[in-house]
């Protein structure tokens, strides 16, 4: 019962979201001795870096504490972060257990969480009752749970960029590596980070269905759905509906097959027709 009381206490250590530091500098948070098993995914490459990887341990605990105090916020939090976004291994384990409870329709309760941790033989490795009490106490207000989750997500993105940059740097020093292949891999790494985050936008199913039906009707009527930019190539425009917003369009072909000329023709047509401002950037790998 004492554990429940401590965990449900709303701590006053911080006055609000603005009080969170960017590097987790509180003495009570940065332990000299890591907990058993504390070597999470976010720490894999830190030994090879001169500076500490971006993280905010206070925000991570605030997310967990907010979910325990106000489980209703989980739906919004889950749209912002994933388990692997947590830097601290114990925090990741706690979040994944809470997520499984939420997805399984179970009531989110501290004592039920403790039981799950004991069953999985992870109770001691995450720090036991003392750490769970600390998580519960360190919540300025559960109403800011999504804000805290955003901080955690941002730090995760920064770590991913650092890891990708480290890999790219390592590959660039390889004298036998193919330049084009390295550029392609570098692009894949960066775009992979972007795609993994998703848009985070939630839509009502009726809106999505109506938009899809409108697109289908426009295609059947040979109209350009939702303001697609006409390229000047009629057959292409009728098949695709034009160039749509937010699309990444890749023209792929062997060298000297006319990729640049085709792109220039499209850009010129769009600009002259006044459909949209156009910026053309040519970066030759040769």
- The active-site residue, picked from 50, 195, 201, 284, is 284
The residues pairing with 243 across neighbouring beta strands, listed in sequence order, are: 229
Q: Enter the tokens of residue 186.
A: 């570098």
Residue 284 is a catalytic residue:
yes
140 touches 11 (CB < 8 A): yes
Query: What is the set of active-site residues?
Result: 284
């Amino acid at each position: 019962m004492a554990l429940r009381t401590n965990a449900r206490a709303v701590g006053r250590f911080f006055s609000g979201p603005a009080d969170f530091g960017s590097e987790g500098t509180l003495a009570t948070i940065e332990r000299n001795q890591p907990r058993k098993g504390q070597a999470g995914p976010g720490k894999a490459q830190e030994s090879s870096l001169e500076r500490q990887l971006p993280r905010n341990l206070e925000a991570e605990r605030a997310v967990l504490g907010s979910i325990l105090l106000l489980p209703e916020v989980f739906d919004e939090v889950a749209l912002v972060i994933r388990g692997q976004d947590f830097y601290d291994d114990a925090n990741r384990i706690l979040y994944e257990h809470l997520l499984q409870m939420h997805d399984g329709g179970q009531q989110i309760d501290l004592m039920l969480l403790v039981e799950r941790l004991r069953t999985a033989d992870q109770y001691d490795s995450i720090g036991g009752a003392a750490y769970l009490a600390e998580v519960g106490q360190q919540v300025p207000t559960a109403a800011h749970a999504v804000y805290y989750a955003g901080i955690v997500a941002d730090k995760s993105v920064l770590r991913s960029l650092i890891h990708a940059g480290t890999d790219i740097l390592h590959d660039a020093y390889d004298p036998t590596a193919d330049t084009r292949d390295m550029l392609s891999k570098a692009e894949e790494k960066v775009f992979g980070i972007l795609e993994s985050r998703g848009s985070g936008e939630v839509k009502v199913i009726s809106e999505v269905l109506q938009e899809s039906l409108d697109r289908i009707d426009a295609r059947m009527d040979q109209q350009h759905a939702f303001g697609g930019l006409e390229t000047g190539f009629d057959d292409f425009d009728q098949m695709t509906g034009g160039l749509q917003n937010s699309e990444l369009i890749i023209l792929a072909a062997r060298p000297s097959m006319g990729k640049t000329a085709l792109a220039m023709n499209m850009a010129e047509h769009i600009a002259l027709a006044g459909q949209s401002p156009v910026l053309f950037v040519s970066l030759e790998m040769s």
